[in-house]
Every structure is written in C-alpha cells, then in structure tokens.
Amino acid sequence: MPAIVQAPFHPGETLNYRVLFSKYAVNAASLVTSVVDEGNYFGGPAWHFRAIAHTQDTTRLLFPLDDQFDSYASAENLASVQFEMYLQEQGKSQTWRYRMTSHAEPAPPDATALRVLPGTRDAIGLLYALRAVDWAHTAEFHAPVFDGRRLYDVTAKLDTSQASVTVPAGALPASRIAVLLFDHGEELADTRITLWLGRDAASTPLLIQADVPFGTLNIELLKLP
C-alpha cells in the first residue's frame, strides 16, 4: 500500500458541490463534505468525515433523498474505523453503523462488526485517502473499499498531473485520477470514476465524474474554501 503523507485537509473544512445527472442535464442533488474534527474515537486517534446529500428540483419529486454518511478513519493511515449511514429515502428512514475490524473481538452493542482486511476504506474515507496520497511519487493506490453494502477492491491510477477542469468554482489546474472497481478480481466494466484533485496544498476535490449503468453523475465544486 502506498505511504500516506501528512493529511492536506484540516478540521472544519467544508466543501459544497452540485450533482448533475448528465443523461437528462438536470441539477439532481447537492452534496456537502466536511472534516468534522480529529480526535479520539473508538480507542484511538481518528479523523471524523461527513457527507450530506439532498436531491433537488425534479429529481426530488421523483426520488426524495436526504442522506448522511459519517466516516471515522485512523489518523495513522486513514483506514476506516467506523462507517455510519443515516438514510431518508422516499419516506423511509434507515440507520446503519459498521465497525471495521480485522480482529475477532465481539461486535459493539450499537454497531455491526464488519470483518475486513487491514487498510480497508469506506466510500467517504476513500476520497480523503486519495487526497492524502503523494501523487508526485505514487502511480497507483490500492485498497479494499466498503460502499455500505458490498466490499470492492479499488485501484486508483494517476492519469495526468497536468490536467485542467472547469467547475463553478473556476477553471483550475488539476491532477486527474482514474478509479477502477473490482469485484472478485473482475473489473466493473459499466462503472468508471474519475477524480480531479486541485493542484493546491489541500488537494481539493474539484470534480468527480461517475459513469454508472443509469447515466453519468458529475459532482462539481461550487466554490473554493
């Protein structure tokens, strides 16, 4: 696993995005990511990340969604410690808490124990882990990733460090990262993710493009912090 450099983000960072569903060219949702804090969680130092999503406009009429995801990641290597999902979708509420462990200790009373390989990330923590990779000296990043339902093997590759991207936050220089998902050794051919990280000190995520079976999602940064 590539070494994780000192985290480029900081407690209190909040980033606002719009989510476009390009198949119908509609403003589908808003997304806010935040670094809640860095503290002692579940027996050790860890980062607390959060993502909140709301569908908007026509998409909300078809699919009302108000979801929150909380990720706790080890301060040592950004491996997931606990992943929480608070879902409100189409009038139904669900709460899931997963404690990530590679050991055989009993499940905590308020969470489901998920036995994983060391270094496993969750879907939110992965974004921050990719920001912390030293892409100037790392060509690929590999990690198991839990998306809240299934475990995948993820390979992230540096496409170019000399890209540029235009989002509501501006026309900005970026590094382009290709993120590939594998299920039992087979690449998901109908799912491709491309991440543009700003060439600033924070490696700010500027654009995430996800090609999925039902269309393409573009998650665009609204303004720089």
Q: Which two tokens stand for residue 64?
A: 């009302």
Average pLDDT, the chain: 91
Instruction: Note whether residue 204 is domain-resident.
Output: yes
- pLDDT confidence of residue 180: 96
User: CA 124, 130, 131: angle at the middle one, nearest 5?
Assistant: 100
CA distances from 170 to 97, 104, 203 (A): 37, 48, 15
Instruction: Note whether residue 22 is domain-resident.
Output: yes
Q: List pLDDT tens digits, range 101-159.
A: 877 777 788 899 898 999 999 999 999 999 999 999 998 999 999 999 999 999 999 99
Instruction: Note whether residue 71 is domain-resident.
Output: yes
Q: List pLDDT tens digits, range 80-105.
A: 999 999 999 888 999 999 999 877 77
- pLDDT confidence of residue 27: 85
- pLDDT confidence of residue 2: 43
Instruction: Note whether residue 165 is domain-resident.
Output: yes
Instruction: Note whether residue 161 is domain-resident.
Output: yes
User: Which among 116, 47, 33, 34 has a CA at the least distance from the CA of 77?
Assistant: 47
Q: List pLDDT tens digits, range 42-70.
A: 989 999 999 999 999 888 888 889 999 99
Instruction: Note whether residue 8 is domain-resident.
Output: no
Range of the domain at 18: 14-221
Please tell me the distance from the alpha carbon of residue 99 to that of residue 122, in angstroms, as a whole number.
Answer: 11
Number of domains making up the chain: 1
Question: Between 174 and 89, where is the model more confident?
Answer: 174
Instruction: Note whether residue 5 is domain-resident.
Output: no
Neighbours of 75 (CB within 10 A): 16
pLDDT at 194 over 90: yes
Instruction: Note whether residue 42 is domain-resident.
Output: yes
Q: Across the strands, what pairs with 155? A: 142, 180
